[in-house]
Structures are given as C-alpha cells and as structure tokens.
Chains A and B, each alone.
Chain A
C-alpha cells in the first residue's frame, strides 16, 4: 500500500481534485441529474435549480423539498421536510470539523467548511486524511468539495435540460455506483473504532429500516455507534 504523506499545497490540491473528479464526481453528476430533471418538472427555473443544489447541498433534503412542494404541501411544510431529511448534517459537522483543527479556525472559515460538507466529502476525507499532513487537511477537503460541487452543478443543469434519458441499464449501473463506492471507501478505513461502527451500523441499519423506517437512521447511529464505542474502549483498556 502506498501511503505518502501529502505535505505540499500543490500536491494536496491536485490529489483532492483528482479524487473528486473520479467516482465522487460521477456520482454527483448522476444523482443531481435526477434532481435537475425533477426540479424542471416542478416548475423551477434553471437558476433556482442550481441555487437549490448549492445552498441545500444535500440530496435527501432537496428531494424531500420537491416531493412535498409538488404534492401541494405548501412552503413551510416543504422547508421543514427538507430540513428533517438533512438533519444528518448536525452529526456530520460535529464529527468532521474537529478534524480540521490544524487549519483556519476563524468564524467565516468554519461556516464555509460547514456549508461545503456533504456525505461524499465526509466519507472521502475519512479515508484520505491519514495521507495528508494535518495542517493541510482543510485544503484537501475544500478542493475536494469544490470539485464535486462543480460536478453537481453540471449534473443539475444537464438534468434540467432533460439529459437524463440514458438507456435504463446504464442509469441503473450509474445509480449503483453510489453505494458501492461508499462501501469500498469504508473498506479502507483502519481505525478500530470506525471498523466496528461501520460493521454494526450496516447490520443495524438494514434491520431497523425494515422494522421502523422513520427512526432507522437515528437508532442505527446512536445504538450501533454506542455499541462500537463501548467495545473499542473496553478492548483498549485491556
């Protein structure tokens, strides 16, 4: 395994852009095409569709907003639906921002980091950060996030103009990229507590979604995460 420590600004930026322009970019392109197409059907203009992608920057919320709005639920209900579908960002920022401690810590920087964060960058950074010098991790994150936002915007525009008319088989293959990529990126995570949390979370996520879909994510996180934490702390004590 090659684990160079990325210590130069330029190398970190290039690595981040290349990482972003691979599968993550393709995933954002594909999924945001879906969003762009639906937004167009819902009566959004192109600038509105792009603004939704950039400002909300979380597909589950974007889709929930559209679904409720198209269903005639009204402004407030649609906004609340978006917010609830994106509630995961609370946990993602809490667990992610401390990893950028060696970078800029001003108010504006932190707000910017929080706004750029998405599930893709959270995941990719967990895998890549061990290779990156601590003081430059924020740079890797920002370059990666900006790269995939670019892909997301292109996807939104393409979907808005009806470019999502790919053959069914190709679309399905592209959609499956998403979970596969995440699964394999996680396969490379090495910290012991993370490995336990991932395995327990995957099992629990499937079971709870089947039994109590509405509370599945919260329960999976709290229960699965706590079990993983407890196991790891116990083992470290030995």
Chain B
C-alpha cells in the first residue's frame, strides 16, 4: 500500500461526495422557494433527518449501543422536559439529558 494510493482514496472519496453536492446545487438553482415542489423537498429532507436522529437514539452504533434502551429514552425525556421548563433553552436540555445518561450508567 503506497502513500499515493491513499491520496487517491481520499481525493476520490472527496470527489464522490462532491458529486452529490454539486448535482444538488445544479438542481437547486431551478427551484423556487414559494412552490409546492420546494415544500415537498423540504418535507422529505426533514423526515429523513428526523429518521436519522431517531435512529441515533433508538438504535445507535458504537459505544452508545452498550447503553440500555431505557436509559437512552430516560435521558432523552429528561432533555425534552428541562428544555421545555427552561424556556426552550437547548443548552439546558442537552446538559440535563447527558447528565441523566451519565448518572444512570455510572
């Protein structure tokens, strides 16, 4: 395995991701924000990203997978509760959630 091959790998992977980005940019140029089509695309994006987040909480990979589901759910509930009580402060909610998780597994 040579250095050059690894550089090809890095640059090739960069270009391969850029291909999606630039196709998206080209396509985006012809879309008007005030159209139903744009609202639909937005809905699809929101749904996809929400699916990703739900998956990170419910079915994580890596070290988080070792934390029991009920603890992850408890921590998430604590985060939302404190977020709501603290006047919708993301910082307070996230802090409460992570603290709950750490206390529950420690």
Contact = CB atoms under 8 A, between A and B. Distances in A.
A221 B7 CA distance: 34
Contact of A176 (B27, B42, B72): B72
B99 to A, nearest CB: 8
Contact of B47 (A181, A183, A225): A225
Contacts of B22: 111, 114
Interface stretch (A9-17, A87-95, A138-146, A151-159): A87-95
B16 A193 contact: no
B17 A56 contact: yes
Contacts of A79: 9, 12-13, 16
Interface string A193-206: 11011111111111
23 contacts: A1-B87, A22-B91, A23-B94, A34-B62, A55-B17, A61-B17, A92-B45, A98-B31, A113-B25, A114-B18, A179-B60, A181-B90, A183-B53, A186-B50, A194-B43, A197-B42, A198-B49, A202-B50, A209-B51, A217-B51, A217-B52, A221-B44, A226-B43
Given A119-B49, A203-B54, A225-B46, A180 B98 contact: yes
Contact of A180 (B17, B19, B48, B79): B79
Nearest to A209: B55
A199 to B, nearest CB: 7
A3 to B, nearest CB: 11
Interface residues of A, number: 100
A224 B40 CA distance: 11
Contacts of B87: 1
Contacts of A119: 49, 52
A91 B40 CA distance: 11
Contacts, number: 308
B20 to A, nearest CB: 4
A184 B24 contact: no
Interface in A182-238: 182-189, 193-194, 196-206, 208-210, 216-218, 220-226, 228-229, 232-233
Interface string B1-26: 10101111111111111111111110
Interface of B: 1, 3, 5-25, 27-29, 31-33, 36, 38-60, 62-64, 66-67, 72, 75-76, 79-80, 83, 87-88, 90-91, 93-94, 97-99, 101-102, 105-106
A174 B105 CA distance: 13
Contact of B36 (A91, A113, A122, A233): A233
A198 B50 contact: yes
Given A115-B21, A201-B51, 6 more contacts: A91-B45, A114-B18, A186-B49, A197-B43, A201-B47, A202-B54
Instruction: Give 10 nearest A-B pairs by CB, closest first.
Output: A205-B51, A93-B24, A55-B14, A201-B47, A225-B44, A201-B50, A221-B48, A224-B47, A83-B16, A220-B51
B98 A178 contact: no
